[in-house]
Amino acid sequence: AASSALLCQGALAATLNTQQLKTLENLKKDALNSDTSYQIIESLTTEVGARMVGTEAEKKSVTWAVNKMKALGFDKVWTEPVATPKWHRGEARVSIESPYPHTLVALALGGSVGTDGKTLKAPVVQFENLQALKDAKADSLKGKIAFVSYRMERHIDGHGYGMAVGARGAGAAIAAEKGAIAYVMRSVGTDTNRVAHTGGMRYQDGVKKIPGLALSNPDADLLLNQLKRNKPVIMSLSLTANPEPDAEVTSYNVIGQINGSELPNEYVTLGAHLDSWDVGTGAIDDGIGVGMTLAAVHHIAQLPQRPKRSVRVILFAAEEIGLFGARAYAKAHKDDMKDHVIGAEWDFGNGDIYQLTPGVGPSALNNIRDLATLLAPMGVSLSSENNAKGQSDMSALGRAGMPAINFDPDGSDYFDYHHTPNDTLDKVNRDALKKNTAIYTMFSYFAAQSDVDFRK
Amino acid sequence: AASSALLCQGALAATLNTQQLKTLENLKKDALNSDTSYQIIESLTTEVGARMVGTEAEKKSVTWAVNKMKALGFDKVWTEPVATPKWHRGEARVSIESPYPHTLVALALGGSVGTDGKTLKAPVVQFENLQALKDAKADSLKGKIAFVSYRMERHIDGHGYGMAVGARGAGAAIAAEKGAIAYVMRSVGTDTNRVAHTGGMRYQDGVKKIPGLALSNPDADLLLNQLKRNKPVIMSLSLTANPEPDAEVTSYNVIGQINGSELPNEYVTLGAHLDSWDVGTGAIDDGIGVGMTLAAVHHIAQLPQRPKRSVRVILFAAEEIGLFGARAYAKAHKDDMKDHVIGAEWDFGNGDIYQLTPGVGPSALNNIRDLATLLAPMGVSLSSENNAKGQSDMSALGRAGMPAINFDPDGSDYFDYHHTPNDTLDKVNRDALKKNTAIYTMFSYFAAQSDVDFRK
Ligand SMILES: [Zn+2]
Ligand SMILES: [Zn+2]
Ligand SMILES: [Zn+2]
Ligand SMILES: [Zn+2]
């Protein structure tokens, strides 16, 4: 009944013919009934776990990915080297010394320097947000520890992240410019757990590098409650991060595809990143992306016939420390980027997908409407925008001219777990995962079986 | 309108007269509009924080409690010594060595021995629950690490705890009897956070003392997923717990009361425990009990007149390591236990109270029905049982003959935070706290203003 309803939808343009629509409907059923994407995440998190750039586990993840793609029926699997910096987190020991001693839960921000074996002890100066820190007078933080207490807001599309993450990237450099000896911030996260959220930060040329750390939300609350009492709050802080400054290592993008039956040199691309931070097992960020993209291609590979175009999965290296894998891919594939017909990343957990936003040529928009019609029964609506440039890693390919589709999931709880020790397998919603995998499978088949030029 | 409705309730027996019922109704309003109980918890968790027996912070908590009671208008405040054992948690380092290396989040169980500076390395043997461990053959665990993977169930009345906690108390001794060199268990908790739940354990005379630890739920999952693959799983484990075995220290029950205007030597008692584990700030367990009981008496102390009987708050010492404060109190007050007319503890978080269960004489049951009628508009129903012996610390007084009332809250999420680093101020539900404080205020006034003999 579902498939006949679909075939009768008069609104469908002619992107796929009746037989192809039937195949697509079967693929949807396969994916909705399959646990494959979950099993891939289970395997990655159990057999590899955390896989931060430069670690043994990251090397293992590359082998794991190559083997997994082969086992899942990919036609061609290879790796491409990526030069990346390496950073070692070390241990953070942070506490309030006075007026009321407390041990605080903290994590270094990615890229932070350590304290060279010393323990810093200094008064804390609090700022409501990054702007307030920027507004502080020159030299006003001399010998102090700056603390930005801004709390990230929870929103379905995760836009609270954008409002909060600036303090993570730039806070330490700005604090250092004004004389601070260390920088601590409330974690960029929406949870109330006693675990901190890590994530990348940047130094500025010519500005002293000072340690940057994130406190868990409850610890930031506690620090605020002490500050409220109008007595000097003295913090002590030591961090063994980054014993190998400027170390560079080679990592690998892992790439696999099924070869198109008619247009093998045109690539529908699915992206996710293989690396993770070291604190959880990277189930959510981005094990789910790995599971969904590999499973989508696996389901299509089970068909008696390959679709016209190739479907390529790129598992990017070194996303967390600054999209190094994506940039390396865009550079290496400068000449054949024109053959990347369209791409979608998955790097945003697994809330239900509620919207798709294309970034295609005006005439291809008709075909995107066909896709949206096919996905509407799954709760996916079509955005009125046509400006997607690709999410996460795929933004590098989008900037290089590849058309993109963004699939937008309910991200309300994504930042409860993001970049924390809590990013583990039990957080994966198996039902939403099946549905989202089905959507990626359908999109991949749709784009690969058609011969639409998404640039036009 | 609310108070006239109350005064008209024909079902009320004559425990209180019209004027007293009016006072009670005003007390209810005061408590529902007051943030006092929250402010007390804020003060305790911010200015003292974790307060485990034998620590500096625990000493500070005694001074804090004495000062707080005085500031809140108590007539009489004193301390009574409690001899307790002392235990030091130290640091637990637990990891899976093979087949897939992982660092596991673990906490020592309270009372556990350490590993004497050594790192144990041994294969893990898994058991579904405590019974399965008991059923293992003698010597079958020689040189092994025993792992009980039982997962606590979530229930409104928290009865899943009773089903799970046996493995915490007795597991290590049973494993040791069969030759195990260490004992690890899935945390007794209903959350999915990467924090472990501590709590007390016991050794058995004549059985070797081996380390006992709890893994966080996600880490227990991961260990299970590795075991599922049917390769030997080797765990490594070191623990610096308990460097001072058998150390004994003196702690203090902190007791305060408002003196009764007519029957000052009869005591309506409210109990909570002042100590906490060292991993969180003890906001939920049992800062909430401290806040509710102190605020209840404070609200009554604001009345122009003291009620007939004294209302006494006992903040018990050393509950977590085995009810040492409660037992010391029962012993010290053997001779005047008859003057303790009725008592209620609060040591179960702050879900909404939905039921009261008395443990009183048959004729006093009529008066309890009056109380239940007064509390019915707050969503509190009367249990059909009349067998309460007092919760937590108060069980020691109940056993010594004091009538008791148990107030039963929705405990569905209590074991998400119980005995973890997540037990912090932000977990307190300020609205539920006001309501529950109002109920304790009403109960205290009701029992203190009446002259009912709850033993009869
Ligand atoms: Zn990511
Ligand atoms: Zn990330
Ligand atoms: Zn307790
Ligand atoms: Zn407890």
The residues, ordered by sequence, that sit 6+ positions from B360 with a Cβ below 8 Å of its Cβ are B342, B367, B368, B386, B403, B404, B405, B454, B455
Beta bridge partners of B310: B267
**Cα of A196 to nearest chain B Cα, Å:** 11
Going from the C-alpha of B135 to that of each of B126, B129, B183, B230, B337, the distances in angstroms are 12, 10, 16, 21, 44
User: What digits encode the pLDDT tens for the residues A68-79?
Assistant: 999 999 999 999
B194 and A218 within 8 Å at the Cβ level: the answer is no
Average pLDDT over residues A156-168: 95
Average pLDDT over residues A242-262: 90
User: What digits encode the pLDDT tens for the residues B162-221?
Assistant: 999 999 999 999 999 999 999 999 999 999 999 999 999 999 999 999 999 999 999 999
Which among A101, A421, A425 is the nearest to B105, CB-wise? A421
CA distance A275 to A291: 13
Q: Indicate the pLDDT class of residue A12, thresholds 50, 70 and 90.
A: low
The answer to whether A430 and A38 are in contact (CB under 8 A) is: yes
A100 and B422 within 8 Å at the Cβ level: the answer is no
B422 and A193 within 8 Å at the Cβ level: the answer is yes
- Are domains A2-86+247-449 and A92-239 of this chain identical in fold? no
User: What digits encode the pLDDT tens for the residues A326-335?
Assistant: 999 999 999 9
User: What digits encode the pLDDT tens for the residues A333-370?
Assistant: 999 999 999 999 999 999 999 999 999 999 999 999 99
Q: What is the predicted pLDDT for the residue at B13?
A: 57
| B190 contacts on A by Cβ (under 8 Å) | none
Closest CA to A392 of A451, A339, A318: A318
Q: What is the predicted pLDDT for the residue at A203?
A: 96
The answer to whether B168 and B147 are in contact (CB under 8 A) is: no
Q: What is the predicted pLDDT for the residue at A247?
A: 79
> Which ligand is the nearest neighbour of the Cα of A280?
2
Chain B residue with CA closest to A416: the answer is: B193
Chain B residue with CA closest to A424: the answer is: B218
Q: Ligand 4: distance of its center to the CA of B199 in Å?
A: 7
Q: What is the DSSP string of B104-133?
A: E-EEEPBT----TT--EEEEEEEESSHHHH
Q: Indicate the pLDDT class of residue B8, thresholds 50, 70 and 90.
A: very low
Q: Ligand 1: distance of its center to the CA of A40 in Å?
A: 17
Q: Ligand 4: distance of its center to the CA of B223 in Å?
A: 26
Which among A101, A218, A280 is the nearest to B426, CB-wise? A218
Residue A91 has pLDDT above 60, yes or no: yes
Reported CATH class of domain B2-86+247-449? alpha beta
Helices B56-71 and B36-47 pack at an angle, to 10 degrees, of 150
The answer to whether B272 and B283 are in contact (CB under 8 A) is: no
B100 and A49 within 8 Å at the Cβ level: the answer is yes
Q: Ligand 1: distance of its center to the CA of A440 in Å?
A: 17
What is the residue extent of each domain of chain B? 2-86+247-449, 92-239
Structure tokens belonging to residue B336: 């005047």
The answer to whether A185 and A215 are in contact (CB under 8 A) is: yes
B218 and A426 within 8 Å at the Cβ level: the answer is yes
Q: Ligand 3: distance of its center to the CA of B413 in Å?
A: 15
Please name the fold of domain B92-239.
Answer: Glucose Oxidase; domain 1 (3.50.30)
Chain A residue with CA closest to B422: the answer is: A194
B421 and A42 within 8 Å at the Cβ level: the answer is no
A194 and B195 within 8 Å at the Cβ level: the answer is yes
Which among B102, B229, B421 is the nearest to A194, CB-wise? B421
CA distance A318 to A252: 9
* φ, ψ of residue A394 in degrees (nearest 5): -65, -15
The residues, ordered by sequence, that sit 6+ positions from B227 with a Cβ below 8 Å of its Cβ are B124, B126, B233
User: What digits encode the pLDDT tens for the residues A272-328?
Assistant: 999 999 999 999 999 999 999 999 999 999 999 999 999 999 999 999 999 999 999
CA distance B18 to A4: 74
DSSP state letter for A108: E
Q: Ligand 2: distance of its center to the CA of A348 in Å?
A: 9
| B57 contacts on A by Cβ (under 8 Å) | 101
> Which ligand is the nearest neighbour of the Cα of A345?
1
A226 and B42 within 8 Å at the Cβ level: the answer is no
**Cα of B288 to nearest chain A Cα, Å:** 17
A134: buried, middle or exposed (CB in 10 Å: 19+, 13-18, 0-12)? Answer: middle
Going from the C-alpha of B384 to that of each of A387, B355, B374, the distances in angstroms are 65, 10, 17
User: What digits encode the pLDDT tens for the residues B305-345?
Assistant: 999 999 999 999 999 999 999 999 999 999 999 999 999 99
Closest CA to A280 of A387, A422, A82, A95: A422
Ion ligand 2 contact residues with beta carbon within 5 A: A 285
Q: Which residue is listed with tokens 């799983």?
A: B233
Q: What is the predicted pLDDT for the residue at B247?
A: 79
Best mutation target, A215, A426, A429, to test chain B (most B CBs within 10 A): A426
Going from the C-alpha of B1 to that of each of B84, B255, B434, B446, the distances in angstroms are 52, 38, 21, 21
A206: left (phi over 0), alpha (psi -120 to 50) or beta: left
Residue B55 has pLDDT above 80, yes or no: yes
| A59 contacts on B by Cβ (under 8 Å) | none
